[in-house]
Structure 1
Amino acid sequence: MEPKLKEKSWDLKRELELLETWDRERDSGLSKGQGVREGKVLVIDTPPPYMSGRPHIGQFATYAQMDMIARFHRMRGYTVIFPWYADRNGLPVEVEVEKRLGKRMQDVPREEFLRLCKAQLDEYEREWVKVLRRWGISAEYIPNGTDSVEYRTMTQATFIEMWNRGLIYEAERPTIWCPRCMTALAEPEVEYREEDTHLNYIKFKVKETGEDLIIATTRPELLAATVAVAYNPEDERYGRLRGMHAIVPLFNQEVPIIPHQSVKKEFGTGVEMISTFGDTRDLAIVNELRLPIRIVVTQDGKLKGTGKYDGLGIREARERIVKDLEAAGLLVKREPLRHTVPVCWRCKTPIEIIVTREYFVKQLEFKDKLLKVIEDMKFTPPEYKKMLTDWVNSLEFDWPISRRRYYGTEIPIWYCVDDEGNARPILPNPGRYYRPWVDEPPSEVKEKCRGGRLIGEDRILDTWFDSSISWMYASGYTRDKSLFNAAYPDGIVRPQGYEIIRTWLYYSVLRAMHLFGKPPFRYVRINGMGLDEKGEAMHKSKGNVIDSLAPAEKYGADAVRFWAAVAGRLGYDFRYSEHVVKTGKDFTTKLWNIARFISQFPEVNDGYELTYLDRLILNELNRVARVYIDGLSGFDTYEPTMAIYEFLWHIFADHYIEAVKSRAYNRDGAFTEAEQRGAWFTLHRVLDYSLRMLAPIMPFITDAIWRGIHGRSIHGEFINDPEGYDEAMGKALRLFMNLNSSIWGFKNKMRLSLAERLNAVVYAQPELEPLKRELESMHKVSFSFTKPPSEAVNIGEGIYILMPKS
């Protein structure tokens, strides 16, 4: 018999050939599957990545998992919408261009800066798309992504709608600010890092008694902004000072001495200065007690209103003030301190809190409604729901959405300025993309400003304001309302990392709640971060970034996808492992060998008789299929992939194929023709269903095998529900495998060939008696299923052997 698969081994070059084949079939419309089943729609709200060079392998592992989910659901009869596009807005590309230019954005003409940003993004995006294709990721690539006219039009339309509903307002208030990026930040855009500094013990003077009051602070540069000093009301050392006043050193302002529960008695001296604004805690106290505001930090991070310290940067001012305190005898001591510093999420500059005029989205008054919306969402793993609800409960500010940056979606507002200089905001009709800083106002805006002068807004929206409606974009809100209505919200899944729960996920929920009163999607799939082989996060600065293309070129995309599927359990961080990639490569070799062996036998659909062995392996196939379908239906890749791997290699190949070979060939006529045909049927049945299950995970080799045997692509096939599973037969299969392993182990111990005939009797469990003919043909030994005699030797669990006396 000649195998239909002619090549003796799997050649990685076939992956490249298949990429070309898939491209041709996609162009000719042959890759659309076999139709759509009623009511089955799945939209994958694919995370649009920031463009910052070629992606590392951890990032692409998560996209490979999404591809597995997409391919699986297609083969289950779903209409699958799986877009891939880049997040091209916001700080990341601006900071990158600024670094390349050696200039700040504000020092470059706006149009030129935008052109440089776009060119940089295009370069990075080409790298991503190259890797997408090589990994066999079947997403629909959408060029330009979040900076496309379509996306920005949608973003602005939602801004206009929320404005009209009174959900967006403008106000001048203290805002988290990055002096390096020169823009406001939202709470989730603040990260924290450990930093070495000093705790400075400084003498204040109590006005009423003249005594010294020692206060410890890490920010002496904010002495001029001090508006109160505070102690814990339970601290008996300072209760007598209540109602008195302190004189701030160097700047001599008089401030009240107040009790406040937030002061830590054990920190420093137990007395703290309250400044506007050292941190969000200071801000909360100032707001709570309606204390006066002293602003001493400018938008670019320099001091103002501080006399001789004006114009100094924060760090320089800090050291200068410490020296002056020391010279005046006002510095008691300095202690080294390692503490947590809030920094900008993108450039890592320490943040400040300054008063600016910004646009805000209301969120604080909607906390209860947000929590109810979150309750209607299903999280995998479920424990991550609490992370989101904890974040909602911790919010202290409304969301500032205006940014003094260039590359992003413009705020669609013109201001009608009258003769007295009063400015009234006017919004255009939704449905177009507006650039108010350069575009001519539309007619409806001009109509509302007769006699006034129109000035276009030059700020842009927070990048999360754009990406928080990705689920609308993915599900066709602007292109196909019928699709959106069919998918929203039950047919949309959000796959994402846990590190952006408080940003991308939270803001998506907030926007959906405001726009629709419902969740943005029903299902949330949370994955961990990709780490290097030592378990460390991959960063360019560390030099530990593992390229996403090189392993695929060396071992094949299927091998790398195998690693991506089993790298870690859903929700947990996962490590890159070249060993597991090699295991994936070995698995492709094993799979090809299995398929090539089976391809030599005819496929039969009648005239066959299944033996007990056939029924055992088909029963096990049903069990594995159930694990597989349940797992991927729940958006997991680990359990399904491990189940197929263990089944194909360690059950089907190691045990069933070895046992069925003699019947499949039937060279000595020991089996009937019907039994022989039963072997052929079972071999093809298991291979067929196993290839279908593996196709979403390892799309290259499965397609090559399917084409070699059936002459068409596997990716248009369906995965149907398995039949039921019989526990008793499952137990019998385990007994069968244990028996095989026991005999093989005994022969190896005796240094005998596994094919060598053994003059002995093996005693096994009665449940295995229906397998007697195939066992004797397989192991070349006699079997008995009765109680073993006392002289028989135990060679495995419940397995004995009786050798003839020499």
Structure 2
Amino acid sequence: MEPKIKETAWNPELENQILKQWEETRLYNFVPKDKNFVIDTPPPYPSGRPWHIGAAAHYSQIDMIARTARMSGNNVYFPIGIDRNGLPVELYTEKKHGIRMQETERSKFLELCRNSLDDLEAEMIQIMKSLGLSGNFDNYYRTDSEEYRILTQSTFIELWKKGIIYKATRPNNYDWVSGTTIADAEIVYQDIPTKLVYMKFKIKDSERTVIIASTRPELLCACQTVIVNPEDQRYADVIGKKIIVPVINREVTIRAHHSAQMEFGSGAVMVCSYGDQNDVALFREMKLEEIVAVGMNGLMTDAAGKYAGLKVKAARTQIIEDLKNADLVEKIDEITHRTPVSERSKIPIEIIPMEEYYVKQLDAVDKIRDIGQKIRFFPEMHKQILMNWLDSISIDWPISRRRYYGTEIPIWYCKRCSEPHVPEPGKYYRPWQENAPFAKCAKCDSTEFVGETRTFDTWMDSSVSPLFISKFGKDEEFFKKTYPATLRPQAKDIVRTWLYYTILRCDQLTGKAPWSEAWIMGYGLDEKGMKMSKSKGNVVDPLPVIQKFGADTFRFWSASEINHGYDFRCSEQKIESTRKFLSKLWNVSRFISSYPVVDNAKPTATDQWILSELDNLIKECKKGYLEYNFFVPAVAIREFTWNTFAANYIEMVKVRAYGDGVTEEEKNAAIYTLHKVLSTILLLLAPISPFITDFMWQTLYSKETIHMQTHPNPQGLEDMSKFTKDIADFNSQVWNEKKSKGLSLKDSISIAIPESLAIFAKDLIQMHKIESR
């Protein structure tokens, strides 16, 4: 008979036809019901070439979650968004147009940013569609849209009125390249080679010197005290005495403090404003007067004397040279220093006192910890990232940024008395551009106002994503049905930012956790195990790979390569090798499509064996799908299809399916089982490889898409897996013996069938053309 599947091989170009069908039938439109499965999908960020191959793998697996949920009987809400706020697009725009933000008219710069984002966004949407993401692209959102920014500003206004937001001047992490404050969560630590300089500090009115080791001698001008450990007997007699800061020649007092580590350097430590967060804490505790040594432009200030105007590195080099010339250096060690670096600009941060707006978070840590404990993490080990971050929080969250492309802070200040005024929520405000929506100052009755020019930290926008998709404050009925969301899928590197800030903000605004589950993915690395980055030149663009091999090949590689939660390596060679499995599945399906579907039959022992193994496969797949770990079903389906179903069962029943020397009942049993197993494989594989499975399903089994079906359940058959190894071993034995005798597989052979396989004898005899002895 002619196979119903006409094509001799799976052609990835068919994916475009299937995509078109999904779009035309509006297959993934969402209509809320009383109970819904809501995914708080991460809105990807277009900056430069959008995405690398690891990110594409991440999003293909998020789609597997959505498809699994639908096939489990859930009403799935899978929103798609694009994150368009913040620093990366500003840096991209500056580089693209050869301009600097601060030197460009603000409206013009914002327009250039929007245009850059539009181009990058189009490619990102193309990649997501090509991957087969089953979200509703007709209504995807942008975090820089007026609607989204209204929500961000409205939530700020609500928290302002609750007293959760305040303004203060305090030392902040400062990225002088980007020109803005950054939160602790936006800092990464890198081991950077540097010099540990052992400097000679002279005690006043004494010949004695104290050696102090520091990696930042350029901050000598900001030194306000020297501390030693109170238990350090080397310095017991000098505590309280004056010591002279070398080169700067200013007197400071030696004090006792437990934070001085006796084993580091000489045990004596200079305390400057501000070398690190420990300095910040000591200045507060000791009530020291700060000296600002580094300015917002990254240059040394006038406080640095003759080093004023130098870049930090240049000042460090010069002051080391001056210390040497004055014989004030005992030695210099070349060391690797753990240095706080801006996650965005990749340069070491400075700590500078600045006036910023803060969201209170210190008093919320215990509650967020309780909420976090109740959220189910997949895998559970990544919950610890959140817990470790909560343990490290030491200050409130600075949320104001000195940038342009972001949601504006909706505040106007009285020109006379500087009193801040916050408008009513519900509109999108641009204080830097618009007149104040107030007639007069509530404090002094002045009628003149000055608008705030700063924008929000981008996480202020991103952290309300579950509120935006559920139409918080806009559609109460929709909100009730979609909030809290079910699941937050994301990468592990933004647990301490996006995941944490979302829990914090949503609890402050709703009193509820934003979701009950969090799905955390590892990093996509290059084929050598290195993290991908544009600077290293090892980023793999996913679009050409998808176009070359097809989305289903890419998606199956993603599922079968990545053990959920762990880092994974990406290589085109591995993706190409995955195509072999889909080719095998195609060939098996095409063979089976030669036979008409049989609705019911009485299975033989051979059929019962493969159906019991099919039951085991269903159980294994369900286990993986329940944990959103697609590695489990992908590997199980491949192993079963290739090595059990195709290599053994199909070969055992081919003759019976042809109807040679068997009853009609035995023939129908083989055909029924072939289709039963294949249709079940397609249903199990559908979330992972949605195109090929839908094509085969609609060709062979139904006019309705496979993605409207439910996952199969085990039939509860007697477990016959004890026979599987013996069957495979016997078949291999026969094939090897024929090969050793120079026989073809179609030739007959005389060989004894093991007694343990007697119930399969008829099929084995026909399969191998075994002659009776």
User: Could you tell me which residue of structure 1 aligns to residue 422 of structure 2?
Assistant: 427
Identity %, equivalent residues:
42
The one-letter amino acid paired with 1:632 is Y
Any idea what the Cα deviations from partners look like across 1:146-202, whole Å, max 9, x if unmatched?
101111111111111111111111001111111111111100111222322222222
Aligned to 2:5: 5
Q: For 1:476-535, what per-residue CA distance to the aligned partner results, in whole angstroms no more than 9, with x for missing partners?
A: 43554434323333x421111111111111111211222223322111111111111111
Cα distance change, pair 726–143 in 1 and its aligned pair in 2 (3 A) = closer
Cα deviation, residue 31, structure 1: 5.4
Report what 1:558 is aligned to.
552
- Structure 1 residue 448: Cα displacement: 8.5
Deviation at 1:65, TM superposition (A): 0.5
Cα displacement (A) at 1:385: 1.1
SS at match of 2:515: coil
1:744 aligns with 2:731: no
Measured in 2, the distance between the counterparts of 1:75 and 1:394 equals 41
- Aligned partner of 1:621 in structure 2 is 614
Spell out structure 1 runs of 4+ moving beyond 4 A: 30-33, 35-38, 443-450, 724-727
Q: 2:634 aligns with which of 632, 641, 647?
A: 641
CA drift of 1:37 comes to 8.2
TM-score, structure 1 as length reference: 0.91
Structure 1 counterpart of 2:674? 683
CA distance in 1, matches of 2:76, 2:47: 25
Change (3 A) 1:653 1:215: same
Query: Which sits farther off after the overlay, 261-270 or 522-531?
Result: 261-270
Please give the per-residue CA displacement for 1:6-65, whole angstroms capped at 9, x wherever unaligned: 222222322233233333333xxx5559x9986342324334334331321111000011
Deviations 1:346-394 (A, max 9, x none): 1112211111110001111222112111111111111111121111111
**DSSP-derived class of the 1:522 partner:** strand
Answer whether contact 2:71 2:710 (CA < 8 A) is retained: yes
Q: Which amino acid aligns with 2:492?
A: Y
CA distance in 2, matches of 1:154, 1:328: 60
Report SS of the residue matched to 2:25: helix
* Whole-angstrom distance in 2 between the partners of 1:258 and 1:759: 96
How far off is 1:112 after superposition?
0.8
Shift of 1:228: 0.9
Aligned CA distance change for structure 1 residues 406 and 493 (closer, same or farther; 3 Å):
same
Shift of 1:718: 1.6
Q: Give the drift of 1:558.
A: 1.1
* Match runs of 1:684-703 below 5 Å: 684-703=675-694
One-letter amino acid of the counterpart of residue 389, structure 1: M
- Write the deviation string for residues 91-143 of structure 1: whole angstroms up to 9, x where unpaired: 11111222234443111110111111111111111111121222222223355
Partner of 1:769: 758
Q: Partner letter of residue 559 of structure 1?
A: T
How far is the alpha carbon of 1:248 from its aligned partner? 1.3
Whether contact under 8 Å (1:157, 1:430) holds in the other structure is yes
The alpha-carbon deviation at position 541 of structure 1 amounts to 1.6
Shift of residue 604 of structure 1? 2.2
Offset of residue 658 of structure 1: 1.0
What residue identity is the alignment partner of 1:590?
Answer: K
Give me the whole-angstrom Cα distance separating, in 2, the residues matched to 1:613 and 1:478: 61
Q: Per the alignment, in what secondary structure is the counterpart of residue 740 of structure 1? A: helix
**Could you tell me how far apart the structure 2 residues matched to 1:594 and 1:524 are?**
38
Structure 2 residue matching 1:237: 3-state secondary structure: helix
Q: Offset of 1:743 from its aligned partner?
A: 2.5
Q: In the superposition, relative to structure 1, how do residues 704 and 411 fare at CA in structure 2: closer, same or farther (>3 Å)? A: same
| Bigger mean CA deviation after superposition, 257-266 or 408-417 | 257-266
Counterpart of 2:309 in structure 1 is: 311
> 1:201-251: per-residue Cα shift (whole Å, max 9, x none)?
222121253422221212111111101111223322112211222121232
The alpha carbon displacement at 1:548 in A equals: 0.2
CA 1:298–1:760 in 2, change beyond 3 Å: closer, same or farther?
closer
Q: 2:431 aligns to what?
A: 436
Cα distance per residue 1:607-627 (max 9 Å; x no partner): x22112222222222221222
CA distance in 2, matches of 1:622, 1:433: 56
CA distance in 1, matches of 2:683, 2:720: 24
Equivalence for 2:196 = 199
What is the aligned partner in structure 2 of residue 159 from structure 1? 156
Deviations 1:303-332 (Å, cap 9, x if unpaired)? 222333222221222223223333333233
Q: Does the CA-based 8 Å contact 2:412-2:449 persist in structure 1?
A: yes
Q: What pairs up with 1:28-427 in 2 under 5 angstroms?
A: 39-141=35-137, 142=139, 145-207=142-204, 209-304=206-301, 305-417=303-415, 421-427=416-422
Equivalent position SS for 1:337: strand
Equivalent position of 1:16 in the other structure = 16
Task: Write out per-residue CA displacement over residues 241-275 of structure 1, whole angstroms, 9 at most, x where no aligned residue.
Answer: 11222121232322221222322323322211100
SS in 2 for 1:201: strand
C-alpha distance in 1, partners of 2:291/2:713? 71
* Alpha-carbon distance between aligned partners in 1 of 2:66 and 2:407, rounded to the nearest angstrom: 30
Residue 610 in structure 1 maps to residue 603 in structure 2: yes
2:424 is paired with a residue whose SS is: coil
- Check whether the contact 1:201–1:331 (CA below 8 A) recurs between aligned residues: yes
The 8 Å contact of residues 36 and 77 in structure 2, kept in 1 or not, is answered as: no
Distance of 1:71 and 1:2 partners within structure 2:
33
Distance in 2 between residues matched to 1:47 and 1:522, nearest whole Å: 19
Instruction: Provide the rounded CA distance (Å) in 1 between the counterparts of 2:226 and 2:165.
Output: 35
Q: How many residues align?
A: 771
CA contact under 8 A between 2:738 and 2:745: conserved in structure 1? yes
Change (3 A) 1:450 1:287: closer
Q: 1:696 to 1:618 in 2, by over 3 A?
A: same
SS at match of 1:169: strand
Paired position in structure 1 for 2:625: 632
Question: Match for residue 568 of structure 1?
Answer: 562
Q: Decide which moves more: 694-703 or 728-737.
A: 728-737
Moved more, 180-189 or 326-335: 326-335
Matches of 1:639 and 1:169, distance apart in 2 = 49
Equivalent in the alignment of 1:492: 486
| Alpha-carbon distance between aligned partners in 1 of 2:500 and 2:204, rounded to the nearest angstrom | 48
Give the distance between the partners of 1:712 and 1:446, measured in 2 at CA: 68
CA contact (8 A) 1:702 1:714 kept: no
Contact 1:156 1:430 in 2 (8 A): yes
* Residues 571-594 of structure 1: CA deviation (Å, up to 9, x unaligned): 110111334322321122111211
Q: CA deviation at 1:443?
A: 5.4
Contact (CA 8 Å) 1:206, 1:213: kept in 2 or not?
A: yes
Distance 2:758 2:629 in 1: 39
Residue number in structure 2 paired with 1:458: 453
- Is residue 80–residue 141 contact of structure 2 (8 Å, CA) maintained in 1? no
Q: Is the 8 A contact 2:683 2:711 kept in 1?
A: no
Unaligned 5+ residue runs, structure 2? none
Structure 1's 448 and 224: CA in aligned 2 closer, same or farther, altered over 3 A? closer
* Worse-matched range after superposition: 84-93 or 291-300: 291-300
Contact 1:43 1:475 in 2 (8 A): no
Whole-Å separation in 2 of the counterparts to 1:378 and 1:773: 51
Give the SS at the match of 1:511: helix
Q: Structure 1: how far apart are the matches of 2:715 and 2:226?
A: 73
After superposition, residues 527-606 of structure 1 pair within 5 angstroms as 527-606=521-600
Deviates more, 1:37-46 or 1:145-154: 37-46
Query: Is the CA contact (8 Å cut-off) linking 1:31 and 1:716 kept in structure 2?
Result: no
Q: AA paired with 2:764?
A: L
Q: Shift of residue 711 of structure 1? A: 5.5
Range with greater deviation from structure 2 (523-532 or 253-262): 253-262
Counterparts of 1:427 and 1:10, CA distance in 2: 60
**Aligned equivalents of 1:180, 1:525: Cα separation in 2:** 34
